[in-house]
Chains A and B, each alone.
Chain A
């Protein structure tokens, strides 16, 4: 008999520093702050770890605490965070640097974004008090420091700030591959890639997805993952977009931001991706994208000056600014694009029928398609749709996933070759990579196309490998 099954997120939680994926610099900073408690009390009694969900903030604290032999006193959103309750939990433990048995401890306030102003009355000021008085390390964790900047400001000024970033696609993929090997499930490479892509750098959600499709099985195909869908997040995102694109007031559109289901960065990308489909009149499109561009500028200023009170202008412009730009559009951008793409295939007009369904467009074959099926399928796949086997239709969601990460992923190999090539040229010619790319590369491409002998000589000169040569020839 096997033990009671443990969820994979717990089973594969890093047990020590070595097992933590990425964010090396942040982990090192946290480690050295923790170490500074061993010989005394550092100037900052608390650190504030922040960053998107599922990138290893809590895991880092737990793993390093274990490495260094600290016990963890954990307080999270499920504890009722009034000052009274906090006092009960934390109690006297903060006044002594060691327990009676000589153990060190650390207090962890997790899921700080969940502290609400009203219900957890006095919560923030109690935490401030704890930090000031504490003789043991205090760790604060939150997903979204920017959205809650004003609320957290007193804590931020007391703490050392350490940012955690999304895990790069490549690393999510490699890690998923390791996990599937460890659990002994054969997962198609394409399936792993799709899971990694959907996770958008969130390791926990990637692992959850993998467990959902692979748990208790020996083999997983791409199809399995497609059917899984992006689950709740997807649903929520679609609802959020629907709301933004149909709002008639700033207030209504802006409400979408305050939900914690999707972070604003991600929402921004979704809005950007889908604006041209919904706001298909050039007047609306231009106005909406201008507002989005302004939103980006406010974010840039907030990040540069670390003055996150500026973020509120970003939020208004990216939601209300986009919603209220819709004046002339009929929202048929996606329909028209799909129709024109399918017509371009030159099939007889009675081959299929496009119709609206609750969450997207459906394309139903209206005759036996034979070999044409493959061509239609390819076209629809490119637009973000897929074939639903059970219903025998293609389904194309109204909203398209942001293309930024998939594009990076798709072009990874070619960009690798380009970057190493450019580095070689720029070093040899004493110019920046930017100059090498714009001013020198075009000449080299001509040479590689026209003069084989000179091209061979260049290959030798720059010590180019096959990939780099192919890049120049393509």
Chain B
């Protein structure tokens, strides 16, 4: 069995290889044919082919050495707009120009995580370098992208893969990897991935690592079980038991040792509470609290404090439930 990271190994390299999103792909092919693209804005959920599409377009446009003409930035990893500006500037000014295409492409992933101030600055940058550099902004929601940027971009909405497309893709990978993937296993993958190909392929590969040749629904569920954020559950349990201090220690280790972002912890915590067996009316009350904390995280400067306040509320809920 050949092992490498399957999500990369089976990432479509050209627009022709992309099976889903056919309408978008045909528009992209037209751009390639005309050797010209507008600024692009790709929105849609995770794992539906947004990055794949722009990388494939770049390869089709610039040929195998496309890496020379494309820069990938990730908005959530670049600290300030100044860093972005500097990088864009030096890329637009210094990188080589392809003989056939008069511009380069800058891919900005997770653009919807930029603050609106940063987006306004980005918009200026887009204008200044528009002659030599096209931007492809990628995000989950277009609502988080400011109007002036949206109006300068052609917007493309990616949807989750259909059951048929996703299953077909997974099936073909399993054949190439010599796996015996049973129908129940494939169903379980589809259920768990909800149209996210990256997640589906990762599940398949992890199941192959755990189980070897034959994969059924049990092997998929066992992988999912190991993926579950057990420490988040532990934290919730400690609160409901009244041990805030221990819960805070777990929180600290999640934030610092494991390095999980506060927003992600909150999201996982929310799912955990919805799934748990606490009284339904409390789930409603806690949703209100969690929603408020979600907003406060964007306002404050110490994420741990905001999450701790939530844990204290949860501890209080635990006590009132037992009463």
Contact = CB atoms under 8 A, between A and B. Distances in A.
Contact of B300 (A297, A419, A434, A442): A297
A451 interface: yes
A296 B210 contact: no
Contacts of B318: 282
B102 to A, nearest CB: 25
Contact of A458 (B5, B7, B226): B5
A419 B209 contact: no
A333 to B, nearest CB: 8
Interface string A426-445: 10111111110111101100
Interface stretch (B22-30, B280-288, B301-309): B301-309
Contacts of A415: 256-257, 259
A276 B227 CA distance: 32
A302 B205 CA distance: 48
A369 interface: no
Which one of A293, A404, A428, A453 has the greatest number of beta carbons of chain B within 10 Å?
A: A293
Contact of A289 (B198, B205, B308): B308
A388 interface: no
A210 to B, nearest CB: 27
Interface residues of A, number: 54
Contacts of A430: 51, 55, 72, 109
Given A337-B245, A461-B5, A303 B301 contact: yes
Interface string B64-77: 00000000101111
B55 A296 contact: no
A431 B109 contact: yes
A438 B226 contact: no
Interface in A279-300: 282-283, 285-286, 288-290, 292-293, 296-297, 299-300
Given A285-B316, A290-B309, A454 B209 contact: yes
A418 B316 CA distance: 35
Interface residues of B, number: 56
Given A282-B316, A296-B301, A446-B226, A433 B55 contact: no
B171 interface: no
Contacts of A337: 245
Given A292-B305, A442-B227, A276 B202 contact: no
B259 A418 contact: yes
B210 A411 contact: no
B206 interface: yes
A456 B283 CA distance: 44
Nearest to B298: A300
Given A282-B319, A446-B210, A435 B244 contact: no
A272 B109 contact: no
A66 interface: no
Interface string B259-289: 1110010000000000000000000000000
B296 interface: yes
A289 B257 contact: no
Contact of A299 (B223, B301, B308, B312): B301
A446 B170 CA distance: 20
B46 interface: yes
B313 to A, nearest CB: 5
Nearest to B47: A439
B42 to A, nearest CB: 13
B86 interface: no
Interface in B1-34: 1, 3-5, 7-8
A453 B299 CA distance: 46
B60 interface: no
B309 A292 contact: yes
B36 to A, nearest CB: 24
A443 B205 contact: yes
Interface string B217-231: 000000100110000
A280 to B, nearest CB: 9
A285 B301 contact: no
B120 interface: no
Contacts of A288: 312
Contacts, number: 147
Given A415-B259, A450-B210, A290 B4 contact: no
A435 B300 contact: no
A297 B301 CA distance: 7
A404 to B, nearest CB: 8
Contacts of B226: 442, 446
A438 to B, nearest CB: 5
Given A432-B77, A457-B4, A439 B312 contact: no
Contact of A443 (B72, B206, B245, B261): B206
Nearest to B263: A434
A428 to B, nearest CB: 7
Nearest to A403: B252
A301 interface: yes
Nearest to B223: A446
A276 B7 contact: no
Contacts of A20: none
A131 B228 CA distance: 62
Given A289-B309, A411-B257, A446-B223, A451 B72 contact: no
A282 B315 contact: yes
A293 B305 contact: yes
A432 B256 contact: no
B252 A438 contact: no
A288 B312 CA distance: 9
A414 interface: yes
Contacts of B305: 272, 289, 292-293, 296
B12 to A, nearest CB: 13
Contacts of A289: 305, 308-309, 312
B241 to A, nearest CB: 11
A432 B208 CA distance: 26
Contacts of A438: 260-261, 264
Nearest to B296: A297
A407 interface: yes
Contact of B257 (A296, A297, A414, A429): A414
A404 B253 CA distance: 11
B111 to A, nearest CB: 11
A431 B315 CA distance: 36
Nearest to B302: A296
A408 interface: yes
B259 A457 contact: no
5 contacts: A289-B305, A300-B299, A407-B256, A428-B5, A432-B76
Given A293-B305, A299-B300, A439-B46, 11 more contacts: A296-B302, A297-B296, A297-B299, A415-B256, A419-B259, A428-B8, A431-B109, A432-B109, A437-B261, A443-B227, A454-B3
Which 10 residue pairs spanning A and B have beta carbons closest together? A451-B209, A293-B309, A296-B300, A457-B3, A454-B3, A289-B309, A286-B312, A432-B74, A289-B312, A286-B316
